[in-house]
């Protein structure tokens, strides 16, 4: 994709997961071609539609279409073509390569009338979900399996002695609920540090006025190296999402640092968080505040161990390879 490099320098969950999977596939001995901007970094062969990422805009949309055309031209070279779904305009290309293609959805699926029609038109395409909660319940689609996202085990390390603050990491916009994180922290009387890209005008109207309290601090957008300290030093991560999250990558990033999570009960949260081990799933800010002290006293070693057991990049790689093999066997 031309929008962000793989991996992204800062925000960019899809590109980050694509990077982790690509590198794990290469390490496992597979011949991998990555279609991404020229400033991407990978041990795979990179086919680039542009020298550097151009962001999402008119130029990005044009280059995005060019990338899909490049994939179609080279598709016969591959046993399987794995699309990471971020935009509906890719579906005609996927359908054209139906015999060798696979699609992973990276967003919630909202079943409007138009969405139902679109999904039914492509119901034969092999699909992978990031969580069971992501799947529409009344659609006869070709789901291959649910494959949870994974991280390289050495990307983050266990930090056993945290500081006395909670963390929020994500886009500062209404869908991620940073205002709810502030409500929770104030109700629990704990300091809160917010990090992530700003979404206007929401930030100026809702978040900025609440930063006047010394208890609440916005520290900016972080790269991967800064995440280790930010998440590892937090006594808990707050994940007050307001949407049906397909996955929620930041939850397993925190778990890799040994940091427990207090997550709202929306989307995949119940599948990712194990209550009493890696945190708690709650209904609202008030319940979150009442469970925060208990969450912060959970074993950080046990939290990291649960990450290693369930959310490694190598496990993700093995599960995708099983789907690739099934697709390739039908060619």
Give the DSSP H or E segment for 67: helix 58-74
In a domain, 159, yes or no: no
In a domain, 137, yes or no: yes
| Cβ–Cβ under 8 Å, residues 68 and 93 | yes
The count of domains in the chain is: 2
Res 99: pLDDT = 73
Tokens 């579906």 map to which residue? Answer: 91
Rounded mean pLDDT of 164-193?
97
Nearest alpha carbon to residue 289 among 234, 238, 232, 230: 238
Res 100: pLDDT = 81
Res 66: pLDDT = 86
> Both 271 and 324 in a single domain?
no
Res 61: pLDDT = 77
Kindly report the three-state secondary structure assignment for every residue of 250-309.
Answer: HHHHHHHCCCCEEEECCCCHHHHCCECCCEEEECCHHHHHHHHHHHHCCCHHHHHHHHHH
**Is residue 59 very low, low, confident or very high in pLDDT (cuts 50, 70, 90)?**
confident
Nearest alpha carbon to residue 159 among 261, 229, 82, 89: 229
> Both 299 and 319 in a single domain?
no
**Is residue 190 very low, low, confident or very high in pLDDT (cuts 50, 70, 90)?**
very high
Res 49: pLDDT = 87
Q: What is the dihedral of CA 197, 202, 203, 205, to 10 degrees?
A: 170
- This prediction has a pTM of 0.93
Range of the domain at 261: 166-310
Rounded mean pLDDT of 115-121?
79
> Both 57 and 115 in a single domain?
yes
In a domain, 2, yes or no: no
What is the chain's length? Answer: 331
Supply the DSSP symbol for 58: H
Query: Domain containing 24 — which CATH number?
Result: 3.40.50.2000
> Both 173 and 287 in a single domain?
yes
Supply the DSSP symbol for 172: B
φ, ψ (nearest 5 deg) of residue 222 = -110, 150
Most confident of 71-85, 92-106, 241-255: 241-255
In a domain, 203, yes or no: yes
> Both 49 and 108 in a single domain?
yes
Nearest alpha carbon to residue 51 among 73, 14, 59: 59
Res 101: pLDDT = 86
- The DSSP bridge partners found for residue 275 are 279
């Amino acid at each position: 994709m031309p929008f962000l490099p793989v991996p992204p320098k800062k925000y960019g969950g899809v590109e980050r997961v694509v990077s982790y999977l690509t590198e794990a596939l290469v390490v496992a001995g597979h011949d991998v071609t990555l279609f991404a901007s020229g400033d991407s970094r990978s041990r795979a062969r990179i086919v680039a539609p542009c020298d550097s990422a151009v962001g999402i805009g008119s130029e990005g949309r044009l280059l995005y279409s060019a990338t899909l055309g490049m994939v179609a031209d080279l598709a016969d070279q591959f046993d399987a073509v794995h699309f990471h779904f971020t935009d509906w305009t890719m579906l005609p290309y996927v359908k054209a390569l139906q015999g060798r293609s696979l699609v992973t959805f990276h967003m919630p699926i909202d079943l409007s009338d138009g969405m139902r029609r679109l999904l039914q038109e492509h119901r034969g395409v092999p699909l992978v979900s990031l969580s069971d909660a992501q799947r529409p319940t009344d659609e006869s689609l070709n789901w291959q399996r649910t494959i949870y996202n994974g991280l390289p085990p050495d990307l983050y390390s266990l930090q056993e002695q945290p500081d006395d603050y909670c963390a929020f990491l994500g886009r500062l916009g209404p869908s991620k609920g940073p205002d709810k994180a502030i409500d929770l922290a104030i109700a629990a009387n704990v300091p809160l540090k917010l990090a992530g890209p700003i979404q206007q005008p929401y930030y100026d109207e809702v978040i900025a006025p609440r930063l006047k309290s010394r208890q609440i601090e916005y520290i900016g957008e972080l790269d991967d190296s800064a995440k280790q300290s930010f998440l590892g030093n937090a006594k808990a991560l707050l994940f007050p999402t307001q949407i049906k999250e397909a996955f929620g990558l930041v939850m397993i990033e925190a778990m890799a640092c040994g940091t427990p999570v207090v997550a709202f009960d929306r989307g995949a949260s119940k599948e990712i968080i194990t209550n009493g081990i890696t945190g708690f799933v709650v209904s609202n800010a008030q319940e979150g505040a009442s469970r925060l002290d208990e969450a912060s006293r959970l074993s950080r070693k046990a939290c990291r161990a649960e990450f290693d057991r369930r959310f490694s990049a190598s496990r993700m790689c093995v599960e995708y390879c099983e789907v690739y093999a099934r697709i390739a066997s039908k060619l």
